Amino acid sequence: MKPSTKLVLAFSGGLDTTFCAVYLHKEMGYEVHALCVNTGGFSSEELRKMEQHANRLPLASFEVANRTQAFYDDCVKYLLFANALKNQTYPLSVSAERVTQAIAVAEYANAIGASAIAHGSTGAGNDQVRFDMVFSVLCPQIQIITPIRDLGLSREAEVSYLLAEGIDYNPEKAVYSINKGLWGTSVGGRETLVSRGVLPEEAFPVPVSKSESEMCSIRFLKGEPVALNGVELKPVELIQALESLAGPFGIGRDIHVGDTIIGMKGRVGFASAAAMILLKAHHLLEKHVLTKSQLLTKDQLSTWYGHWVHEGQFLDPVMRDIEAFLSQSQQRVSGEVFVQLHPYRFVLEGVKSDFDLMDPRFGSYGESNTLWNGQDVRGFAKIYANQAQIFNQVSVHHEK
pLDDT at 363 over 60: no
pLDDT at 364: 61
* Spatial distance between the Cα atoms of 208 and 154, rounded to a whole number of angstroms: 31
Give the Cα separation of 300 and 296 in Å (integer).
7
Instruction: Look at 44-53, 66-75, 111-120, 383-392 and tell me which has the smallest mean pLDDT.
Output: 383-392
How much is the average pLDDT of 204-229? 97
Compute the average pLDDT of residues 370-394. Answer: 84
Tell me how crowded residue 180 is: count the other CB atoms within 10 A of its CB.
Answer: 23
The whole-number pLDDT of residue 378 equals 85
pLDDT at res. 140: 96
Q: Are 339 and 217 in contact (CB under 8 A)?
A: yes
User: Which range, of 69-83, 286-300, 339-353, 365-379, averages the lowest pLDDT?
Assistant: 365-379
Q: What is the pLDDT of residues 171-192, one digit of tens each?
A: 665 578 888 999 999 999 999 9
pLDDT for 366 equals 58
DSSP states of 200-269:
-GGGSSS-----S-EEEEEEEETTEEEEETTEE--HHHHHHHHHHHHGGGTTTEEEEEEE-TTS-EEEEE
Cα–Cα distance measured from residue 272 to residue 352, given in angstroms and rounded to the nearest whole number = 25
Mean pLDDT of 58-75: 97
Q: What letter would DSSP give residue 73?
A: I
Strands (E), the chain: 6-10, 31-38, 61-66, 116-118, 143-145, 177-181, 184-188, 214-221, 224-228, 231-232, 253-259, 265-271, 335-342, 345-352, 363-364, 368-369
Mean pLDDT of the chain: 93
pLDDT tens digits, 254-278 = 999 988 888 889 999 999 999 999 9
3 state DSSP class of 180: strand
Q: In the prediction, which pLDDT does 169 show?
A: 77
More confident position, 327 or 383 = 327
Checking if the pLDDT of 1 tops 50, the result is: no
User: Terminal CA-to-CA distance of the chain, rounded, Å?
Assistant: 87
Helix axes 93-112, 127-138, angle to 10 degrees: 40
Q: Over 70: is that where the pLDDT of 60 sits?
A: yes
pLDDT exceeds 70 at position 2: no
Band the pLDDT of 108: cuts 50, 70, 90.
very high
Radius of gyration for the chain, computed over Cα atoms and rounded to the nearest angstrom: 25
Instruction: Calculate mean pLDDT across residues 283-295.
Output: 98
Torsion sign (Cα): 38, 43, 48, 52: negative
Quick one: pLDDT band at residue 87, thresholds 50, 70, 90?
A: very high
Is residue 384 very low, low, confident or very high in pLDDT (cuts 50, 70, 90)?
A: confident
Lowest-confidence pick of 24-28, 149-153, 156-160, 380-384 = 380-384
How far is Cα 33 from Cα 61, in angstroms, rounded to an integer? 5
Confidence (pLDDT) at 55:
96
- pLDDT at residue 359 tops 90: no
Distance CA 102, CA 71 (A): 11
pLDDT in tens, 228-252: 999 999 999 999 999 999 999 999 9
Answer whether residue 397 shows pLDDT above 80.
Answer: no
